[in-house]
Amino acid sequence: MEAFLAAAIVAAMPLLFATLGELITEKSGSLNLGVEGMMLMGAVTGFIVAFGTGSPGAALLGAFGAGAGGALIFAIITVTLRGNQVVTGLTLTIFGSGFASFVGDPLIGKSVPKVVQAFFKGAPLPGLSDIPFFGPVFFRQDVFVYLGYILVILVSIYLYKTRPGLHMRAIGENTAAADASGVAVDFHKYAHILFGGGLCGLGGAYLALVYVPMWQADVVTGRGWIAVALVIFASWNPTKAFLGSFLFGALSILGFRLQSMGFHISQYLVDMFPYAATIAIVIVSTHKNRKEDLPPADLSVPYFREER
Partner 1 sequence: MKESAPAIEMRGISKSFGSAYANKDIDLTVLPGEIHALLGENGAGKSTLMNMLSGIYRPDSGSIFVNGEAVRFASPKDSIKRGIGMIHQHFKLVDVMTARDNIILGGNSGFFLNNKALNRRISELSDRYGLDVKPDKKVYEMSVGEKQTLEILKVLYRGANILIMDEPTAVLTPQEIEKLFAIIRNMKAQGCAVVIITHKLGEVMEISDRITVLRRGEAIATVETAQVEIPTLIEMMVGRRVDLSIKRESFHGAGPDALSGEQGLLCVDGVTVYDKDKKAALDGVSFTLRTHEILGVAGVAGSGQKELCETIAGLQAAEKGRIFFEGQNILGKSPRDIIRLGIRMGFIPEDRLGMGLVGSMDIVHNMILKEYQNQRGFVLRRGPSAEKAQQIVDRLDILTPSVHTPVSRLSGGNIQKVLLGREIDSDPKVLITAYPVRGLDIGASFRIYDLLNEQKARGVGVIFIGEDLDVLIELCDRILVLSGGRITGALDAARTTKEEIGFLMTGGAA
84 part of the interface to partner 1, by CB under 8 A: no
**Which range touches partner 1 (CB under 8 A), out of 13-21, 27-35, 69-77, 178-186?**
178-186
Choices 75-83, 142-150, 261-269, 290-298; region in contact with partner 1 by CB under 8 A: 290-298
Torsion-angle region of 288 (φ positive above 0: left; ψ -120 to 50: alpha; else: beta): beta
Residues 6 or more apart in contact with residue 148 via CB below 8 angstroms: 13, 16, 17
- Nearest approach, Cβ of 43 to partner 1 (angstroms)? 33
Which listed range, 88-96, 155-163, 214-222, 259-267, lies at the site for partner 1 (CB under 8 A)? 155-163
Sequence-distant (6+) residues with CB within 8 A of 158 are: 164, 165
If one asks whether residue 287 binds partner 1 (CB under 8 A), the answer comes out as no
Minimum CB distance to partner 1, residue 32 (Å)? 22
Q: Cβ closer to partner 1: 15 or 178?
A: 178
Give min distance, CB of 235 to partner 1, in A. 12
Residue 111, φ and ψ in degrees, nearest 5: -105, 160
Nearer to partner 1, 269 or 297 (CB): 297
The answer to whether 29 and 171 have CB atoms below 8 angstroms apart is yes
Q: Which one of 178, 194, 205, 210 is in contact with partner 1 (CB under 8 A)? A: 178
CB of 302 to partner 1, least distance (A): 13
> Mapping DSSP to helix (H, G, I), strand (E, B) and coil, where does residue 214 land?
strand
Check binding of 166 to partner 1 (CB under 8 A): yes
Contact in structure between 48 and 102 (CB atoms under 8 Å): no
For 150, phi and psi rounded to 5 degrees?
A: -60, -40
The CA distance from 81 to 302, in Å, is 10
Q: What is the DSSP letter of 111?
A: B
Which residue in 147, 176, 217, 243 binds partner 1 (CB under 8 A)? 176
Q: Which residues bind partner 1 (CB under 8 A)?
A: 161-164, 166-167, 169-170, 173-174, 176-184, 291-292, 294, 297, 305-306, 308
